[in-house]
Amino acid sequence: MEQVYINHLAVLVCAIANLALGALWYSPAMFYKAWKRENNLSDEVLKKANSAKMYGLSFLFSLIISYNMAFFLGDAKTDAVWGAKAGLLTGFGFCALIFSIIALFEQRSRKYILINGGYIIVYFTLIGFLLGVWR
């Protein structure tokens, strides 16, 4: 069995990157208005959300996702290019597609699928790259 190398600091940064990318992706500068419309959400409903719970669990789940990717990319031959490719393949080939299947059965719009699926693909590509480059 090969030795798996995990850079724990890189994993932590990848988990933080989820929140940072999400803040940008779902900001008014990008997809906030369309995302809100596709989810039938109002500012009032969003203000009532438990932010500590949402961000706390999001960070925890992102940390688990990042460790999972780090294990898959823990091979000594992993570099930035392979990391980004593996992240893209994971984000698109597994995560965004299963998300899309669920969204189709929930009768969600194409725009909803593209906004959220796009975020998933970009995020996984980003963390694959970070884990690959930061050996």
pLDDT of residue 135: 84
Alpha-carbon span 77 to 4, nearest angstrom: 11
Alpha-carbon span 124 to 87, nearest angstrom: 5
Q: What string of pLDDT tens digits covers the 135 residues of the chain?
A: 578 999 999 999 999 999 999 999 999 999 999 999 999 999 999 999 999 999 999 999 999 999 999 999 999 899 999 999 999 999 999 999 999 999 999 999 999 999 999 999 999 999 999 999 998
pLDDT of residue 2: 75
pLDDT of residue 1: 55
Alpha-carbon span 82 to 79, nearest angstrom: 5
| Sign of the four-CA dihedral 31, 37, 43, 47 | negative
pTM of the model: 0.95
Judged by DSSP in three states, 39 sits in coil
Nearest C-alpha neighbor of 66 from the set 20, 3, 27 = 20
